[in-house]
Chain A
Amino acid sequence: MTTLTALPPRTARILRLPLGLYLALAFVLLLVIAVLAPQLLATHDPFALAYAEALQPPSWAHVFGTDESGRDLYSRVIFGARDSLTIGLGAASVSLSLAVVFGALAGLAPKPIAVVVDRFIEVLFAFPSLLIALLLVAILGPSALTAVFAVGLGTAPGYARMVRGQVLAARNSGYVEAATALGHSRWRIIGAHILPNALRPLVAIFALSVGQSIVWASSLSFLGFGVAPPASEWGALLDAGRAYITQAGWLIVIPGLVIVAVALAATTIGRHLQNTLEKGEK
């Protein structure tokens, strides 16, 4: 804490605590290793079957326990990171690309187009994210690629509204008025002033959105509409663990905990970026 003059909202202050941020960054570093070189972190072969050791609770030999086929859950979680994070990053990219295009059109296009796009965003916003995603799964059939587009499309309307708000705020700002007074062309003002200022917060939003996307994608997998086994994508682990909830709760609690941790880390980093960017503007 360096500044005591302007106290940010309390929530932001906690999430900005260096300790929380370092933990989040350390966790992300672990994830990056798990994605690039899972064999460095894994203790077992994630696909090696050992029926004699089936459904063992967490122990020193198997820190997260074993599943119904005796596979080491910890190693499966590590090897599943690549699928889960790819889906999360992909969905967040789809979502924010759509949001930028539609949000910018709603904020900048000539009036008739802007009004139509604006209404379109409101229409899609009326559908909850999970339901849009399920609708897309019904049309395209379940797969990893469907999950990316389903989650991306499902979360896009909310972000599109946010981008539109940012664009409108930038458009009505003093510096745009000044640039207009200086006689700069419409496109130059949009390119040099409105878009950079309106899109800067998206860096932080992207981090938040990756966390959210992983949660939504794992919700789809949980319902049985995600990546097919034997892949160990985290949502698929949850879905597989559901059958053993009475005998082996860890099979579902631990992958869930990992997903919550990723979402929390993404939120912490996203909020920190948001605060840093806001401070930079002052």
Chain B
Amino acid sequence: MTPTSLASSATVAQEVPAPRRPSRPRAIALTIARKVASALVVLWGAATVAFFAQTALPGDRATTIFNIRAGQAQLRTPEELAPINAEFGLQNPLIVQYVDYLRGVVGGTFGNSYQQYRPVTDIIGEQLGATVILSLTAILFSWVLMIVWVTLTAGRGPRLGAIGSLVDVVAAGLPAYWLGIILLLVFALGLHWFPVIGGTGLNGLILPALTLAIPLAGFMGQSTRAEFERALDQPFVISARMRGMGDTGVRLQHVLRHAIIPAVTLSGWALGATLSGAVIVEAIFSRPGIGSVLVSAVNAQDLPVVVGIVTLVAVVYVVANLIVDIAYSIIDPRLKAS
């Protein structure tokens, strides 16, 4: 607990009438239950969208799957299609297929790949690690970049602050493919600091992670900067200065703590954004990962794989948001009302 958060929780405790205090755990449990239920509804919806996306391919599904596997486009006899119908349960009515799919998703499977003759979860599982490392490294980089940049430029007079926020806006708008190419040209081909083909080593991770981190830092920086400048005018900052604390100390110990809250709430979104951005980054740097798997699956119209990856990212997004949400309703009771 810091002096500032102690102070604010003390004022909250004064405002809340004493008799209501024992009911707080129950209120929190209720809030959490409501949030979990609403997240489950979203997940069920996502799985439903995923299922119906797979039935949306034009033409007979078994024929399509057969042709994707054979690499040809022609009509097939029922005898040829029978094993495929059996493998994917296509002889069942749609509603049965739907319930089977949902049951599979709950159990952690996404069906079989059209093209690779094996479960989608195996294909994703092999490649997920590389993408998760890329995504988490990118989020870490973006936090470092954003905190350094905002702490250095926010609330330092109109000119420096204006440059700071212009950089935020431009960085947030940079398309990943272009930024990646520029980084590749300058640091790998020009300066030879990093390998051109990413690979999985630590050295090959830096440029891909930066490609994802810079726009993310710009995006988070916009909300952090606004909060930072608001916090600079707060009474606790003045009181810290009156105690003789230096400017850097005030910024790092007091202001930053308040300013990063909006960026923390963006964590779920950031995770989704970096996972989907990985599609482009992995293509630029020839990195393995679920992004490259997704691109080749789209090329082959291997819908179970496409849908599996897309759903997985949606699940990660929903679960991360749920965790952030719950953490907040425990940390800060004031947010419960809103």
Contacts and interface: CB of A to CB of B under 8 A. Distances in A.
B283 A11 contact: no
B280 A135 contact: no
Contacts of B276: 128-131
Q: Contact residue range for chain B?
A: 35 or more
A139 B303 CA distance: 8
B275 A256 contact: no
Contacts of B309: 131
Chain A to chain B: the 9 pairs with minimum beta-carbon distance, closest first: A123-B45, A128-B276, A256-B178, A126-B314, A138-B298, A11-B165, A138-B306, A131-B310, A222-B177
A219 B280 contact: yes
A188 interface: no
Given A219-B175, A249-B189, A10 B161 contact: yes
A50 interface: no
Interface stretch (B14-22, B179-187, B244-252): B179-187
Contacts of A131: 276, 279, 294, 309-310, 313-314
Interface in A80-128: 119-120, 122-124, 126-128
B169 interface: yes
B41 interface: yes
A139 B175 contact: no
A138 B303 contact: yes
Interface string B293-311: 0110111011100110110
B46 A139 contact: no
B88 interface: no
Contacts of A259: 175, 178
Interface stretch (A29-37, A178-186, A260-268): A260-268
B42 A126 contact: yes
Interface string A233-264: 00000100000011001001100110110011
A21 B191 CA distance: 36
A13 interface: yes
B182 A128 contact: no
A190 B297 CA distance: 45
Contacts of A128: 272-273, 275-276, 313, 317
A273 interface: no
Interface of A: 9-11, 13-15, 119-120, 122-124, 126-132, 134-135, 137-139, 141, 215, 218-219, 222-225, 238, 245-246, 249, 252-253, 256-257, 259-260, 263-264, 267
Q: Is the interface of B mostly helix, strand, loop or mixed?
A: helix
Contacts of B57: 139
Nearest to A211: B173
A227 B56 CA distance: 22
Contacts of B32: none
A124 B52 CA distance: 13
Contacts of B158: 10
Nearest to B190: A249
A253 B181 contact: yes
27 contacts: A9-B226, A10-B161, A13-B162, A119-B45, A123-B45, A126-B272, A127-B313, A128-B272, A131-B276, A134-B279, A134-B294, A139-B53, A139-B57, A141-B301, A218-B177, A219-B175, A219-B177, A223-B298, A245-B181, A249-B189, A252-B181, A253-B181, A259-B175, A260-B173, A260-B178, A263-B173, A264-B170
A139 B56 contact: yes
Interface in B49-75: 49, 53, 56-57
Interface in B248-302: 272-273, 275-277, 279-280, 283, 294-295, 297-299, 301-302
Contacts of A267: 169, 173
Contacts of B184: 245
A127 B166 contact: no
Interface in B150-164: 158, 161-162
B318 interface: yes
A124 B277 CA distance: 17
Contacts of A263: 173, 175
A246 B189 contact: yes
